[in-house]
Amino acid sequence: QSALTQPASVSGSPGQSITISCTGTSSDIGGYNYVSWYQQHPGKAPKVMIYDVIKRPSGVSNRFSGSKSDNTASLTISGLQAEDEADYYCASHTSSSTLIFGGGTKLTVL
């Protein structure tokens, strides 16, 4: 299975909003509302930020939001803060009953 497609890097200034895209196919993102997003700081395990496309786990800031259109999912972070600088990964259920991740996006807060 090929990884979902994410931009390698994005950047933004504090207070701004950024959006990270995640493109798949009708066999994964487009076929199910089971897209999740993970934040990973250096040397740490990933942390789930969004699941079921749009849901936030308890304790995750409402500055993080998710959406989906056709085969592309998106993560938007509003009011960027220095602590948001991290790697971000999307993931999706697939029609083969597997889990597939995106290649990851490095977010730099300028």
Closer CB to other proteins, 17 or 41, in the complex: 41
Least distance from C-beta 16 to other proteins, angstroms? 25
Least distance from C-beta 13 to other proteins, angstroms? 26
Q: Residue 53 and residue 71: Cα distance in Å, rounded?
A: 12
CA 49 to chain centre: 8
Closer CB to other proteins, 14 or 52, in the complex: 52
Which phi and psi (to 5°) does residue 104 adopt? 100, 145
Q: Which residues bind other proteins (CB under 8 A)?
A: 1, 3, 32, 34, 36, 38, 45-48, 51-52, 57, 89, 91-94, 96-104
String of b and e for 12-42 (b: at least 16 CB within 10 Å)?
Answer: beeeeebebbbbbbebbbbebeebbbbbeee
Closer CB to other proteins, 15 or 57, in the complex: 57
Least distance from C-beta 87 to other proteins, angstroms? 8
